[in-house]
Structure 1
Amino acid sequence: MGNIKIKRGVFDTKLELEHAGVKAGFPSPAEDYIHETLDFNRDYIRHPEASFYGDVEGDSMKDAGIFDGDRVIIDKAVEPRNGSIVVAFWNGEFTMKYLDLTHKSDGYIELRPANPNYPVFKVEAGDNFEVWGTVIHLIRTFETF
């Protein structure tokens, strides 16, 4: 069931970008002088003290576009809603699934995979369960160096 490894992030590095967008037409000579900065704190991280990386293992979220080897950014300060992708600690392991709150009035919630080959987990009162954080961003590496 465990399909994510949690890593503490240091969100204070800025990366210079030559061009912020990718254009399919002819470039403008004026764009040679544009230098923007990608700042993870400003652009992607709302709560640095509550943000973590997670390295995805497995294919239980593949139909959500999250694949084995991807990295996600998890924010523990973001309140999850019905349908949020969450990292949950359940019965001693971390797992990443959709949070389904539609059965809360019936006394349980569900953790739903985004792959029909995996079971839906029914979480009931008394289970060792905690929504650990909400997945807010996906990072994918296409080529290794």
Structure 2
Amino acid sequence: MWVQNPDLIARLLKALQWTPEEFTRETGIELPTMPAKLKASMTYMELIPLVGVVSAARGDSMAEPMGYVEVDSSVVSRHSGYTLFALEVDGDSMYCEDLPFAIPPGAIVVVAKEKQPSPGDIVVAWHREKEVGYLKQWFPKDGYQVLRSWNPDVPPMVVQGQDEVEIQGVVVQIVIDPSKVSVKPRGR
């Protein structure tokens, strides 16, 4: 019978995005105990709010509810003490063809709101005077902050004092949907 095939059960639960407990509750069918290794390999998705667009240098920034994005539940559980939200990236300051990692325009970043950044973390910084949110790499200095881009064509921002810029949160995951990402070659 199909309920005795753990691999088939795991694929069904993944497709439904249900835990074994949710499956039993919704269907009334008791599932056999799944092997721990198989259960650990299953991923579940959770929805978090997509609250706007963040500028990566030459991009736009806006705060406006845009719906929800699916995030692996392990990301949510790892950061359970924080409020998570997502932003779409506009601009190319965190994209560089010469790096093995990048955050291209069109990517979605998942941000932990209350998390305190460590030097080198990617943060969402709100510039009060300019009323714009930036996606940058954060480096605190004695009396000022440096917000750096990965794109060498974009100069770093040096922020004097804490009142100009407020760190909104730390990026904890980058979600790239190839169908939404548009990367323009440099120099064109």
Report which of the two has the higher share of strand: 1
Q: Is residue 144–residue 162 contact of structure 2 (8 Å, CA) maintained in 1?
A: no
In the other structure, the counterpart of 1:89 is 126
What's the Cα RMSD here?
A: 2.3
Which residue, out of 61, 70, 75, partners 1:44?
75
Residue 48 (structure 1) shift:
7.9
Aligned CA distance change for structure 1 residues 67 and 48 (closer, same or farther; 3 Å): farther
**Higher alpha-carbon Rg:** 2
Question: Normalized against structure 2, the TM-score is what?
Answer: 0.54
Mean alpha-carbon deviation: is it higher for 38-47 or for 84-93?
38-47
Identity of aligned residues (%): 27
Aligned with 2:7: secondary structure?
A: helix
| Structure 2 gap ranges (5+) | 18-43, 48-72, 181-188
| Structure 1 gap ranges (5+) | 1-28
In the other structure, the counterpart of 2:112 is 75
Aligned CA distance change for structure 1 residues 55 and 83 (closer, same or farther; 3 Å): same
Distance in 2 between residues matched to 1:119 and 1:82, nearest whole Å: 18
For residues 83-140 of structure 1, give each alpha carbon's deviation from its aligned partner in whole angstroms, at most 9, with x where no partner exists: 0000000132100000012xx22x1110000101101000111652100111111111
Mean alpha-carbon deviation: is it higher for 123-132 or for 84-93?
123-132
Q: Is residue 47–residue 75 contact of structure 1 (8 Å, CA) maintained in 2?
A: no
Aligned residues: 113
Higher relative contact order by CA 8 Å / sep ≥ 6: 1 or 2? 1
Which residue, out of 78, 82, 89, partners 1:56?
89
In the other structure, the counterpart of 1:119 is 155
In the other structure, the counterpart of 2:8 is 32
